[in-house]
């Protein structure tokens, strides 16, 4: 039974190097976003750990610590990304390409955010 399920999934996996149908394009952009999100989550763990280490030397200025501020910023960024990309998808509002635009936008912004998070670690 498991073999049949794997066969079904692989038979319907899109060729993301040259997708042909809109369904495949939508799926490929979703896969790209999922990969970008996994990479960002991995970087997030590293960056948050670095910020927590930086918090061991308090600044004494009464502002939130590095880790607390990073968490606040990340939550705001996630909300921005998702709302911005929904708006970006409106270029094809109601069309079959709308999910592709949203997923592509989310992938692109997530890839950029991963670089920003990595740069924070380099700055410490």
Per the domain annotation, does 6 fall within a domain?
Answer: no
- Phi first, then psi: give them for residue 11, nearest 5 degrees: -70, -25
Residue 9 lies in a domain: no
Say what the pLDDT of residue 8 is.
47
pLDDT at 58: 72
Residues 6 or more apart in contact with residue 96 via CB below 8 angstroms: 22, 23, 26
Cα separation, 71 vs 52, in Å, equals 11
- Judge whether 117 lies within some domain: yes
The answer to whether residue 92 is domain-embedded is yes
Structurally, the chain folds into a number of domains equal to 1
- What range does the domain containing 51 cover? 21-55+64-122
Residue 82 lies in a domain: yes
Backbone angles phi, psi at 92, to 5 degrees: -125, 35
In-domain check, residue 8: no
Task: Please tell me what DSSP assigns to residue 57.
Answer: S
Determine, yes or no, domain membership for 10: no
pLDDT along the chain (124 residues), means of 10: 50 86 97 98 97 86 90 98 98 97 98 98 81
Domain-located, residue 14: no
């Amino acid at each position: 039974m498991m073999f049949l399920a794997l066969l079904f999934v692989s038979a319907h996996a899109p060729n993301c190097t040259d997708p042909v149908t809109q369904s495949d394009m939508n799926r490929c952009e979703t896969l790209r976003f999922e990969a970008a999100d996994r990479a960002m989550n991995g970087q997030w763990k590293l960056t948050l750990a670095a910020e927590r280490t930086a918090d061991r030397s308090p600044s004494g200025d009464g502002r939130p610590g590095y880790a607390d501020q990073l968490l606040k910023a990340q939550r705001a960024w996630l909300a921005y990304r998702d709302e911005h990309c929904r708006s970006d998808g409106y270029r094809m509002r109601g069309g079959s390409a709308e999910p592709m635009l949203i997923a592509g936008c989310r992938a692109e912004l997530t890839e950029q955010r991963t670089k920003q998070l990595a740069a924070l670690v380099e700055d410490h």
